[in-house]
Amino acid sequence: MKALIKKLIAYDKIYQIIKDSVLYQIWKKYNGQIANLLYGHPSKHFFVIGVTGTNGKTTTVNLIHQILNDNVAKSVSISTANIKIGTKDMKNTKKMTSLDIYDLQSTLAIAKDSGCKIAILEASSQGIDQYRFEGVQFDVAVLTNITHDHLDYHKTMDNYAKSKKKLFNYVLNNKKNNKYAIFPSDDERGRKRFEEMPFDKKISYWINFSSILKADNIQESASQTIFDFSYLGKSYTITTSLPGKFNIQNILAALGVALEIGVPIEKAITSVEKFTGVEGRMQKITQNNISAYVDFAHTPDALEKTLWHLTTIKWSGKLIVTFWAPGLRDKEKRPIMGDIVNQYADIMIITDDDPDTENRLSIIQQVQSKITNRTLGKDLFIIPERTLAIQCATNIAQPGDILIFAGKWHESIQYTNFRKRPRSDFEEVKKNLY
């Protein structure tokens, strides 16, 4: 019924008009103030860290939580995938990167009552833009990167970047004594903000560009990643089970926060090395010498980095990519992602994500539009039903192959053209491999 109503009123088009109106902005901000008042302004009791960026936010939030909960004080973290209060880990079932302002404030109030002193919040561009963090006094802002995403909402990359910049302005405008920031030096906008924004303490990090935290001597394998990084003239080594250079960047961002607030570097490294990852982020299943990964990889940049990493650890087998594009979201990235998979995959399978009220076949056609030099039924399969697409991938796979299922990651609900239904990529892949 909800899907039918959305179609009848052309909700996705109407919303674009509503969200840009002054009345909508006032209403959102007023709601934020009510939520703060209702729950007693809980964020004022926390040291608050906000993490924004296109990719890597959830893993970075969880890495920061691991370090600070281990070494500083009991912490709460809220991310796309999960909510942690101390060592208690709960799945985020809201399908929102940044919670609704009432859910956020109620969660912070619960965390305060349980003794938490630090809050690490994943801050999406939409969440920032819609005043979901109204009243939250941030101490630290972290940027992971800014690449193509959410242009259905923001329209331009400049608007997208400006929304994320607001998080850093929140820190600069807070009423607290110290103002901290972490910037990626390999990202053009991140590098510019590092140079221009007047924080009390700021750290840059990355792999390729000169930065305060810079990774070097990187060794990647199917089971672990080893790298060195330098800080204040001394070199350190980290061995992690997290795969790929993109996770090195997440680790450096988390270490930047730890170093800024005074966590001994050796203790921070110990916490990083025991961190095993987040559900649905390069989550691995191995059976009969077949390695399968379930991963978010929802943007062109994230997908390309993930596929590049998998090609580096692939030996004689094939790379089989099952991927998607959601409905009612950034349409520009659909053919881009199809083109990226076309470049890396030995076999590609296009399927559904959350088509919602948008025609599922139309989405797939857009994803397929730039794919060339493929033979349907041989190295290209179009299977809209996601369960059947997973079955196809696992049936095709041979020992030595690598499978990647990009899209639904940890989510347990799918919004189809017909209804909302329970489903889990991880459980589906596991069932078909065993």
pLDDT < 70: residue spans in the chain = 1-20, 95-97, 148-155, 326-330, 354-357, 408-423
Neighbours of 158 (CB within 10 A): 10
Task: Identify the sign of the CA torsion 342, 396, 225, 412.
Answer: positive
Give the C-alpha distances (Å, rounded to integers) separating 70 from 110, 262, 313.
20, 13, 32
Could you give the 3-state DSSP secondary structure of residue 77? Answer: strand
Q: Cβ contacts of residue 360 below 8 Å, gap of 6+?
A: 327, 352, 384, 416, 417
What DSSP element (H or E) covers 85?
Answer: strand 82-85
b/e map 373-395, b = 16+ CB within 10 Å: eeeeeebbbbbbebbebbbbbbe
- Give the pLDDT confidence score for residue 387 in this predicted structure: 87
- Give the pLDDT confidence score for residue 8 in this predicted structure: 46
Of the candidate CATH numbers 3.90.550.10, 3.90.190.20, 3.40.50.11890, 3.30.420.40, the domain formed by 283-433 belongs to 3.90.190.20
Residues in the chain, overall count:
434
pTM: 0.84
- Give the pLDDT confidence score for residue 374 in this predicted structure: 93
- Give the pLDDT confidence score for residue 1 in this predicted structure: 47
Q: What residue segments make up the domains of the chain, in order of their start?
A: 8-274, 283-433
- Give the pLDDT confidence score for residue 333 in this predicted structure: 83
The CATH fold of domain 8-274: UDP-N-acetylmuramoyl-L-alanine:D-glutamate ligase (3.40.1190)
